[in-house]
Amino acid sequence: MNYYIETYGCQMNFADSEIVASIMNDNDYKLTKDIKNADVIFVNTCSIRDNAEQRVRNRFKEFYSLKKKRPSLIVGMLGCMAERLKDQLLEEERILDLIVGPDAYKDIPLLIENVRKGVKGINVILSSNETYSEIQPVRIDSNGITAFISIMRGCQNFCSYCVVPYTRGKERSRSADTIITEAKRLFENGYREVTLLGQNVNSYNFTSDKESISFALLLSDVAAINPLLRVRFATSHPKDMSDELLHTIADHPNICRSIHLPVQSGNNRILGLMNRKYTREWYMNRIEAIHRIIPDCSVSTDIIAGFPGETETEHNDTLSLMEWARFEFAYMFKYSERPNTAAAKKYTDDIPEEIKIRRLEEIIKLQNKLSYESNIKDINKTHEVLIEGVSKRSKSHLFGRNSQNKVIIFPAGEHKPGEYVNVFVNRCTPATLIADK
Ligand code: SAH
Ligand code: SF4
Ligand code: F3S
C-alpha cells in the first residue's frame, strides 16, 4: 500500500509529516511522490489564518475526482485543522475517511484498518506528554544537508489571536537524549545543519530524575556534537529571551547568528490586548542585548497588521519599531480572526479589509527597504556559506546560507552541497546576496 502526504503550515508541521512517514513505513506502507499511485492520501493542515484553511478546502475539491475514479482511495486530514474542526469535518468534507490530530499520529495504522472495515476514523485527543521522542523521522523532500528537529510540542502562551494552544495542546519538552541522538545521527549521515523547533523554544525544559535541562544547555550540547554542524532554532518568544541564552550562542561559532524574534506589534496597548506579556521597551531592550552580546547577529520577526481596534497611531508605532530594529527579514500578516480564541470572544474584528491591506502594504514596503539596505551592507565582504544545492536559476551556480540565514548564490566551481565555502559577495537583490566569481 502506498501513501502520499502533502503538508501545509509551519516547519513543525513539516517535521510532523516526517513522523507520520516513519509510523507508516514501520507499518509496511510505502511513501509515494505521485498522488496517482497513492492508496492513502494525507493532508497535514494548518489553521493559523483563515486563508490557510481555505487553501486546504480548495485542495480537497480536487481530491473528489480522484476518489470518484477510485472509491477505495483513503483520504485523511491531519494536523491543526483536523484538531480544530474535529467531527464537524465529517459533514463538511464528505470524502474524508480519517481525521487525526497532532498528538494521535501513532493511532493512524489502526484507524486505516478500521476504514478498510468501513468505519471512518477519528482521533483528535490531545496529550499532555506525547513528544514522539523515540520515533526516527523519515526525511521527506530532504536536501540531505539541512533538517528540522522538533524539541517540544504545544504552546500555552495563549496570545489572544492565536489558535495554536487549542490545536496543539499543552507545552511539553522532548527528552534531551533523544534530541541529541537524532542530531548525531543526522550529522553521521552527512547533514550539516539542524534547526531545533518549537513554538517557544526559549521555555524548553526537560526534567528527569537526574537533571533539568534548559534550552541554553540543550543548545550547547547539540553544538558540541561537531563544529561542522550548524545549529539554528525557532521560534523565540521575546518574553523568555535571556542573556544566558545569548551568551551560549556567542560562545559557540556553529550556533547561527540569526534569531527569529516575533514582535507582532510595536504598540504597548496592542501588545497588551494580544496578551504577548512584554512591552515595546522590553522588546527593544532584548534587541539591544542581542547586538551587544552577539554583534554579528541578524534578527527577523513576525508582524500582524490590523489587530482589532488598532488605530493609525498604533500602526505607526509598528512601523517606527521596524525602522528602529532594522529587521533583516519579516513574515507579515493581516489579522485573521480565529473562532474561539480570546480575541474572537472579546474584541470585534473591526478594522475594514481595505485598511488592513493598506497597513500590511506599508509594513511590507518598509521591510523590503530594510532587507535591501541590510543586503547592501553585506556587499564587498566574504561570507562563509554552507552549500545546500544547485541554484534554481542556473545549473552552474550553487546556493547556500551564511550564518545570518541569508541566501547566497555563487559559481559552482568544484564545490558540492554539504561543504563550507568562503565566497566574496559583490552584489545583491532585495532578497539574495550574489557572488559573481
Ligand atoms: N510561536 C510563534 C509563532 C507561531 S504562528 C510565536 O509566538 O512567535 C506564526 C505567526 O503567525 C505568528 O507569529 C503571528 O505573527 C502569525 N499569526 C498567528 N495567529 C494569527 C492570526 N490570527 N492572524 C494573523 N496572523 C497570525
Ligand atoms: Fe501562538 Fe503565541 Fe503560542 Fe506563538 S506563543 S504559538 S503566537 S499562542
Ligand atoms: Fe499552522 Fe498548526 Fe503550525 S496552526 S502554523 S500548522 S502549529
Express as a percent the part of the chain with pLDDT over 90: 98
Written out in words, the top-level CATH class of the domain with range 289-377 is: alpha beta
The gap from C-alpha 329 to its chain's centroid, in whole angstroms, comes to: 15
CA 427 – CA 144 distance, rounded (Å):
28
15 CB within 6 A, ligand 3: no
Asked if residues 336 and 49 have their Cβ atoms less than 8 Å apart, the reply is yes
Expressed in angstroms and rounded, the spacing between residue 48 Cα and the centre of ligand 1 is 7
The ligand whose atoms approach the alpha carbon of 53 most closely is 3
pTM: 0.97
Helix axes 243-251, 280-293, angle to 10 degrees: 20
Which residue lies with its CA nearest to atom 15 of ligand 1? 302
Pocket test residue of 161, 164, 335, 336 for ligand 2, highest count of atoms within 8 A of CB: 164
Cell of 58: 480548495
**Residues 134-192: tens digit of each pLDDT:** 999 999 999 999 999 999 999 999 999 999 999 999 999 999 999 999 999 999 999 99
Q: How confident is the model at residue 324 (pLDDT cuts 50, 70, 90)?
A: very high
Q: Which atom of ligand 2 is nearest to the CA of 264?
A: 7
C-beta 13 within 6 A of ligand 3: yes
Ligand 2 neighbours, Cβ below 6 Å, are 155, 157-159, 162, 164-165, 199-200, 237
Distances (CA, A) of 200 to 239, 331, 375, 415: 10, 17, 28, 36
Domain range summary for the chain, segments of one domain joined by +: 2-123, 142-256, 289-377, 381-434
Grid coordinates given for 4: 502520499
H/E element, 408: strand 407-411
Using the predicted structure, report yes or no on whether residue 210 has a pLDDT greater than 90: no
Same fold yes or no, 142-256 and 289-377: yes
The fold of 2-123 is: Rossmann fold (3.40.50)
- Asked, as a colleague might, if the bond just before 178 is cis with ω within 30 of 0, I would say no
- Closest residue by Cα to atom 11, ligand 1, is 48
pLDDT of residue 387: 98
Q: Are 108 and 23 in contact (CB under 8 A)?
A: yes
Map grid coordinates 542581542 to a residue: 290
Burial environment of residue 210 by CB neighbours within 10 A (0 to 12, 13 to 18, 19 or more): exposed
Name the residue with cell 508605532: 317
Note the pLDDT of residue 208: 87
83-139 tens-digit pLDDT = 999 999 999 999 999 999 999 999 999 999 999 999 999 999 999 999 999 999 999
Distances, alpha carbon 232 to alpha carbons 15, 67, 74, 266, in Å: 15, 41, 37, 26
Average pLDDT of the segment spanning 189-197:
98
Give the C-alpha distances (Å, rounded to integers) separating 333 from 7, 262, 345. Answer: 20, 12, 21
At residue 204 the predicted structure's pLDDT band, cuts being 50, 70 and 90, is very high
Answer for the pair 344, 336: CB distance below 8 angstroms, yes or no.
Answer: no
Single out the residue of 280, 225, 224, 283 nearest to residue 248, CA to CA.
Answer: 224
pLDDT for 375-392, tens place per residue? 999 999 999 999 999 999
- For residue 154, the model assigns a pLDDT of 97
* Ligand closest to the CA atom of residue 351: 1
Ligand 3 pocket check: which of 7, 8, 13, 168 to mutate, most ligand atoms within 8 Å of Cβ?
13
Mean pLDDT, range 326-338, rounded to an integer: 98
- Consecutive H or E run containing 152: strand 152-153
The amino acid occupying position 339 is: P
What value does the mean pLDDT of the chain take?
97
Is 374 within 8 Å of 339 (Cβ atoms)?
no
Return the pLDDT at 357: 98
- Average pLDDT (41-60) is 97
Let me know if domain 142-256 sits in CATH 3.30.750.210.
Answer: yes
Helix (H/G/I), strand (E/B), else coil: 84: helix
Is the domain 381-434 a CATH 2.40.50 member?
Answer: yes
Q: Which residues contact 223 (CB under 8 A, 6 or more apart)?
A: 229, 231, 252, 254, 255
Longest dimension (CA), the chain: 65
Smallest-distance ligand from the CA of 48: 3
> Is pLDDT above 90 for 393?
no
